Amino acid sequence: MLKDGRFAGGVRRGIAMLRDTQHVMGCAIAATDGVVGEVEDFYFDDQEWTLRYLVVATGAWLKRRKVLISPHSLGRPQWQRQLLPASITIEQVKSSPDIDTNKPVSRQHESLFLSHYQYPHYWEGAGPLSVGPNPNGQSLDAQFGWSDAHFSRAVAARDTASVSDAGEHLRSRNAIQGYSVRARDADIGQIHGLLFEEDDWAIRYLVIQTGHIGCRSSRIISPYSFMLIDQHQLIRINKIIFTGLQGIY
């Protein structure tokens, strides 16, 4: 359950297990022939709302370089040991394309990275992690409590407002921590976490911290309520779906 504003472990949603990204921070990535390093950030897709890459800080063996690891490579997590087994080798990591985590990840860099590991390009609709928001075919009404028509209008509004460059769809989990969340009629709170589904790494909810110092609480909201994440560290909520605090659980 929520502990200090975060999910300390997993929370079951139906047959699926939800995890807070905070619970994964610091976990070791274990290649088939050694430990790569520890998870220190994520890149997520703000269109499909899926965790695309783990940012891993390597040890002295690779001069503490930061590398990307795709969930494609991960096996069943060993949460008690804070260990994420990966079907990759140390040599593959060592020869993987460099990444500058202080700059946006371009589509060209993604293509080089995915080709290096021989993973499919998710934007072409290939691969088990290519579709994040609705992998099991459930209706959106069943999943989130609102209709497909509402969802379509939200996506249309988001696409109108979002940037056109396909390379700017990835965002850092750490970078959006503390972003303000605002409906058209009120400020709601700040981003305090991301809850994802273990099976497909799809982001199901965002944790919003509301209230003031001494009187804070944490609530969760579907990412498909969002119309726009802008450059001013502000997340705006689409009023078609979201009015005031309706829809926060």
Q: What percent of the chain has pLDDT over 70?
A: 64
Cα 248 to its chain centre, rounded Å, is 19
The structural domains of the chain, with segments of one domain joined by +, span 2-124, 140-237
Mean pLDDT score, 150-178 = 60
Question: Are 230 and 219 spatial neighbours (Cβ–Cβ below 8 Å)?
Answer: no
pLDDT at 152: 52
Q: If one looks up domain 140-237 in CATH, what number appears? A: 2.30.30.240
What is the spatial distance between Cα 201 and Cα 9, in angstroms, rounded to a whole number?
A: 15
**DSSP-derived pairing of the beta strands 16-20 and 10-13:** antiparallel
- In percent, how much of the chain has pLDDT > 90? 33
Dihedral sign for Cα atoms in the order 217, 202, 170, 25:
positive
pLDDT value at position 109? Answer: 87
- Band (pLDDT 50/70/90 cuts) for residue 15 is very low
25-29, 59-63, 181-185: which is most confident? 25-29
Quote the pLDDT of residue 199: 87
Answer yes or no: same fold for 2-124 and 140-237: no
Q: DSSP secondary-structure letter at 164?
A: S
DSSP per residue, 4-73: TTEESSEEEETTEEEEEHHHHTTPEEEETTEEEEEEEEEEEETTTTEEEEEEEEE-GGGTT-EEEE-GGG
- C-alpha distance from residue 19 to each of 7, 196, 237 (Å): 7, 5, 23
Q: Superfamily assignment of 2-124 in CATH?
A: Photosynthetic Reaction Center, subunit H, domain 2 (3.90.50.10)
Instruction: Give the pLDDT band of residue 239 (cuts 50, 70, 90).
Output: very low
**What pTM, to 2 d.p., does this model score?**
0.74
| Mean pLDDT, the chain, integer | 74
pLDDT exceeds cutoff 60 at 42: yes
Half-sphere exposure of 7 (CA within 13 A, CB side): 22
